[in-house]
Amino acid sequence: MSAKSENLFMVSLKDAAAGGAVALALFGVLIGMKAEVASGLGGQLGIEYRWAAVAIAVAIVFGGRLLLNLFVWKTDKPVTATAKGFLPSAKPLAKLGKYAMPVFLILAVVLPFLLMSAYGSRGSRQYLDLAILVTTYVMLGWGLNIVVGLAGLLDLGYVAFYAVGAYSYALLAQYFGFSFWICLPLAGILAAFWGIILGFPVLRLRGDYLAIVTLAFGEIIRVVLLNWYDFTGGPDGISGIPRPSFFGIEFERGPGGFADTFGLEYNSIHRIIFLYYLILIMALVTNFVTMRLRKLPVGRAWEALREDEIACRSLGINTTHTKLTAFALGAMFGGFAGSFFATRQGFISPESFTFIESAVILAIVVLGGLGSQIGVVIAAVVMIGGFEFFRGLEEYRMLVFGLLMVVIMVWKPRGLISTRMPSITLSGKKAKGISADLVQEGHG
């Protein structure tokens, strides 16, 4: 053993011993003594001592800290670098991004038929439900991508607009009997309106401060929905939300229904397939609009705003308008997705719009690579699909899930797809993606 490694061992041992001592002090009380109603003392409180458990806990802390010190914390090579060695190189993924778009699209379009032929109409239902869920999150991710990925405004309360969209439809249907097709644009407009309402007070804020305010806004919406019992039904939610029709043709058994009109045999899967295509089209519209806007002055202004607000002002960009359009558009797509959610579920309550939803959507955007549309798709499939996939692991599911996120971030710190296509090049030349590898972290 060389002098250096011996020294490392001694330092690690000392550190581990200190950790063990702290653990002993804490666990001695926390684990070692348990207040109990002792049976032998006639119902009085007694203390049960569990020194063996304390010894095990302290040993785990000591041993764990020693091992971590020796092999992770104090090694010359950081563990993230070691972990990177086990993962495949990120390079092929950039190429994958190029072909992924058409492949994903074709796959998405033929998916219901693939599932039907593989599992039959009964067996494919759960997979279709999952596909609908994933696509909903893709749409939400794309919507949030406008705000966070393009305009660089960290929004932790995106679920508020999802909720506004869902409740807009549910309430309009309940009070006025409006159909889904009338409510869909209304829900989008209302959500965009709320986006502007939120946008105004937070125009001066950026980064962490903005995140906190949007977080609060998300909670305010949820709490209002929860407590305004007369109007929203509070925690009971709203049930019996009308299902969407196929342009006026209901998905019902019997004459005049969808199956009857098109000469098919009635099957409840028809509605599920219709819902799937509905959300797929809505998501694709979101993507199309975003991609178009990126190539227009307003889209470039969003990206410029993300990069440097002061420079934007020096170039004559109205930062107020730019931020508000980003908020409003992002919120609008959230609202569309929300009304789809309401019509699909048939029942909504404030429980569906908690902070964790915002966090999941944000995680999809960040893991996918801020500003990358295809990255959002991959991240949504991995996150939402993966979450369902690991259902068999029961209580370890969250652990696996968390670990997966850490691994992705170690492997690709800027998200799965960090290559950015320039929105414009010299006339006639094909756009080439610019890798993020050479740009300092946090600067791109």
Positions that interact with other proteins (CB under 8 A): 297, 300-301, 303-304, 306-308, 310-319, 420, 422-427, 432, 434, 436, 438-440, 443-444
C-beta of 205 vs 285, nearer to other proteins: 205
Tell how strand 238-239 and strand 45-49 pair up.
unpaired
C-beta of 47 vs 311, nearer to other proteins: 311
Which token pair is 363? 């995680």
C-beta of 300 vs 397, nearer to other proteins: 300
Query: Which H or E element spans position 49?
Result: strand 45-49
Least distance from other proteins to the Cβ atom of residue 305, Å: 9
Contact indicator for 379, 142 with CB cutoff of 8 Å: no
Least distance from other proteins to the Cβ atom of residue 304, Å: 5
C-beta of 205 vs 434, nearer to other proteins: 434
The residue among 126, 84, 149, 156 whose CA lies nearest residue 287 is 149
Residue 1: burial class (beta carbons within 10 Å; 0-12, 13-18, 19+)? exposed
Q: Is 223 left (phi over 0), alpha (psi -120 to 50) or beta?
A: alpha
CA 388 to chain centre: 14
Least distance from other proteins to the Cβ atom of residue 424, Å: 6
Which token pair is 381? 């499939």
240, 330, 354, 373 from 161: Cα distances, Å? 21, 9, 12, 20
Least distance from other proteins to the Cβ atom of residue 13, Å: 45
Least distance from other proteins to the Cβ atom of residue 317, Å: 5
CA 289 to chain centre: 21
Which residues make beta-bridge pairs with 36? 46
Least distance from other proteins to the Cβ atom of residue 199, Å: 17
Give residue 2's identity as a one-letter amino acid code: S
C-beta of 391 vs 443, nearer to other proteins: 443
- Cβ partners under 8 Å of residue 179, min gap 6: 173, 242, 245
C-beta of 27 vs 302, nearer to other proteins: 302
**Alpha-carbon torsion (98, 143, 327, 368), positive or negative:** negative
C-beta of 227 vs 425, nearer to other proteins: 425
Least distance from other proteins to the Cβ atom of residue 4, Å: 38
Which residues make beta-bridge pairs with 348? 238
Query: Which H or E element spans position 278?
Result: helix 269-294
The residue among 329, 420, 416 whose CA lies nearest residue 368 is 416
Least distance from other proteins to the Cβ atom of residue 400, Å: 33
Least distance from other proteins to the Cβ atom of residue 63, Å: 45
C-beta of 21 vs 439, nearer to other proteins: 439
Least distance from other proteins to the Cβ atom of residue 300, Å: 6
| Residue 340 backbone phi and psi in degrees, to 5 | -65, -45
Cα distance between residue 387 and residue 338, in whole Å: 21
Contact indicator for 191, 183 with CB cutoff of 8 Å: no
Least distance from other proteins to the Cβ atom of residue 444, Å: 4
C-beta of 52 vs 431, nearer to other proteins: 431
C-beta of 3 vs 438, nearer to other proteins: 438
Which residues make beta-bridge pairs with 263? none
| Residue 313 backbone phi and psi in degrees, to 5 | -65, -35
Query: Which H or E element spans position 238?
Result: strand 238-239
Tokens 């119902």 correspond to 43
